[in-house]
Structure 1
Amino acid sequence: MTIGFSSRVAASACALCVTGVLVLGPAAAAAPAGTDPGPAGGARATAPRPALLYRPGTQVRPRPGAPGVPDVSALSWLVADAGTGDVLAASNAHRRLPPASTLKTLFALTVLPVLPGGVRHRVTEAELAGIGAGSSLVGVAEGQSYQVSDLWRGVFLSSGNDAVHVLAALNGGWRTTAARMQAKARSLGALDTHVLSPDGYDAPGQVSSAYDLAVFGRAGLRDPDFARYCATVEARFPGRDGESYGIVNTNRLLSGADGVEPYPGLIGIKNGYTSNAGNTLVAAARRGGRTLVVTVLNPRSGGGLAVYEEARELLDWGFGAAGRVDPVGSLDGLRARPGPGPGSRSGPRATPVVTRSPSALAAPEAPTAPATGAVPAAPVAGDGPGRPEAAVVAGAAALGGAAVALALRFAVRRRAERRPAGGDGGERRVR
């Protein structure tokens, strides 16, 4: 059968639809656009769009009285507040460059949580195979038994690629470790990093950036084991026949070696060098209750020690500029936001307990495939409607739909009341 209703009823229904949209529409317009919650969960009005750090050249937003940014020769550098994640200044922050041994920061972030320092392991020949020519070594020997903590000191102090190879074997293998490092980088919002060799040894296509390395360094300081290892200046490393020998941290700003003046308040983190990457450094220092993290990649003048002096200048500037510059970005700016559900709650990372034996630790595990898609940046004003706006629009549409249904029901009832008595209970179809 065909049901019809007058244009007056239709007009009334449409008026109700329009009324719903007009009433609820302003709420959609007033709903706040998405913001980067930052580490404390509150929006920062001064935070610029993430794209600012993708611009070439030096980026800084000084206030009146701010000190001038030092003129350094590094291809890329960044200064950030480790507490808030605010980037105070940067130059070519997302330029992809070879990281050398600063990539060991990501290696430690990935592997430290699953290899407790008290585990003891006897090194095999296979675990030392494939170490690149000219690699820095701490002196790990085949057949020698080491605690995992010894190997970590070899990584942080001597930048030992031999120690990295053994730890990677305990973590499931070289390729598995590289894949897990790649996934870890993506989870932290470090989208410039491509991992091929977990020790940072030169490999075609292996890159990172000043931004990503600062993200790794900052994350490392939150791990007590990482923070302790990267701040250690001297240690003893096991040798043969029960003897040991001294090792010294190759970060000259920490150790003061080779005539480099130690930086007051320095707390690590990691230096590196290869012929392709040049000198690289991620450093952190604390002063007056504030901790800064600095990345310096490949200075173009000043010799092999220039990376330390340029980091010193940038740290001095950062402490002097505190409160006198607005941030040009955030180290949290590209980090994935957890969705709703049990896994979305943030809290301190539980310390994992390994119950397997050392031999079981060496058994390969299923590799974790690296993330291939880019992690979306936090939404900013003007990027489009968010969930509150969508809900309001949906509510308006539902109200309009209810109005139409009510009008149809009213029309049916009116027609039924006008139906002649004695009918068959139905209507004839109008052709």
Structure 2
Amino acid sequence: VRPHPGVPRVPEVSALSWVVADARSGEVLAAHDAHRRLPPASTLKTLFALTVLPGLPGGLRHTVGADELAGIGPGSSLVGVAEGQTYQVADLWRGVFLNSGNDAVHVLAGLSGGWSATAARMQAKARALGARDTHVRSPDGYDTPGQVSSAYDLAVFGRAGLRNADFARYCGTAEAQFPGRGGWSYGIRNTNRLLTGADGVEPYDGLIGIKNGYTSHAGNTLVAAARRGDRTLVVTVMNPQSGGGFTVYEEARALLDWGFGAAGRVEPVGSLDALRARPQP
């Protein structure tokens, strides 16, 4: 951080890597080990959505086949996609963003050319956005050898996602209904507790969502965005080393609070546009 005189100190956080950035300008206000390559868990679904969502209109209807649900990793988070059931694509996206459903990701990847092709497209999308720390092996974020991202890259994905109206709507949805068998539906709730206030985590004022994640290898990860007045901040927190499973939310809260207090009073230490591919002449 490069603070002007009188700027509050950056809060002490235990995350292995973190970033605070201005979503409009792309300026990085403060960071710690921002390019450290770490497993991203389900925050990688931000890149999946950036890559796949524009080509799959929400109103499209699809009947799920058994092959589309094959190969889901053991212990994966699921929303309850069922073989033979017909869904709107919008239902599947809500399953991805709210329940972090790897089953929904598998179906959407199948509709978008298949698992391997989707991973390759995600990799190309990451490079085009200047996210050079990311290596995609499993589009759903499931722990896979060699799959890594960084706090910087995840902030790039989160910022880019907010520019897509569908992405922004899905990532900011707190609760929805998901179709079940026989014409009935059941409620699903966003697992981003800064958005919902679940499990005793106080909701963050002005939060507009994005994505959390957890695996035993990655620990807790979070990309969060909040708006106050005409300023929007994006924060990434990766794998806090102290506290319990909800520490990731409290560390993100502290960094957002600092960012709103310090914005305009620090010199940027980098830019989320710094590594973006430039068009060839």
TM-score by length of structure 1 reads 0.65
Any residues of structure 2 matched to 1:344-359 within 5 Å, and which?
none
Amino acid at match of 1:154: G
* Offset, 1:191: 0.1
1:90 Cα deviation from its structure 2 partner = 0.2
Aligned partner of 1:221 in structure 2 is 162
For residues 99-126 of structure 1, give each alpha carbon's deviation from its aligned partner in whole angstroms, at most 9, with x where no partner exists.
0000000000000011010100000000
- Which of 134, 142, 145 lines up with 2:75 in the alignment? 134
Q: What is the CA-CA distance between 1:337 and the residue it aligns to?
A: 1.1
Aligned partner of 2:31 in structure 1 is 90
Give the residue type in structure 2 aligned to 1:247. I
Query: Per residue, is there more strand in 1 or in 2?
Result: 2
2:215 to 274, 283, 288: 274
Whether 2:181 is the aligned partner of 1:231: answer no
User: Corresponding residue for 1:208?
Assistant: 149
Matches within 5 A, 1:256-267: 256-267=197-208
- Aligned: 1:242 with 2:150: no
**1:170 and 2:108 equivalent?**
no
1:146 match? 87
What's the counterpart of residue 370 of structure 1?
none
Give the whole-Å Cα distance in 2 for the aligned partners of 1:123 and 1:322.
47
Structure 2 residue aligned with 1:307: 248
The question of 1:292 aligning with 2:237 is answered: no
Partner of 2:102: 161
Q: Quick check: which has more Rg, 1 or 2?
A: 1
What letter is aligned with 1:298?
A: N
1:323 aligns with 2:264: yes
| CA drift at 1:322 | 1.1
Query: 1:122 aligns to what?
Result: 63
Matches of 2:280 and 2:238 in 1, distance apart?
A: 35
Q: Please state if 1:105 is matched with 2:46.
A: yes
Which amino acid is 1:134 matched to? G
SS in 1 for 2:214: strand
Which amino acid letter does the alignment assign opposite residue 196 of structure 2? Answer: S
- Partner letter of residue 204 of structure 2? Y
Q: CA deviation at 1:339?
A: 2.3
Residue 162 of structure 2 aligns with an amino acid whose one-letter code is: L
Q: How much has 1:200 moved relative to structure 2?
A: 0.1
Aligned match for 1:188, one of 120, 129, 132: 129
- Deviation by residue 1:223-260 (Cα, 9 ceiling, x = unmatched): 00000000000000000000000000000000100000
Matched residue type, 2:221: T
Map 1:52-71 to 2 at 5 A: 60-71=1-12
SS at match of 1:74: coil
CA distance in 2, matches of 1:113, 1:288: 29
Letter in 2 for 1:242: G
Name the SS for the 1:193 alignment partner.
coil
Distance, in Å, in 1 between the alignment partners of 2:277 and 2:43 is 23
- Aligned length, in residue pairs: 281
Residues in 2 aligned to 1:95 and 1:308: alpha-carbon distance in whole angstroms = 20
Stretches of structure 2 lacking an aligned partner (at least 5 in a row): none
Out of 331-340 and 185-194, give the one that drifted further. 331-340
State the identity as a percent.
Answer: 83
CA RMSD of aligned residues (A): 0.4
1:323 Cα deviation after fit: 1.2
Q: State TM-score, norm by structure 2.
A: 1.00
Gaps in structure 1 of 5+ consecutive residues: 1-59, 341-431
Find the aligned partners of 2:89 and 2:115 in 1 and give their Cα distance: 17
Cα distance in structure 2, aligned partners of 1:125 and 1:335: 39
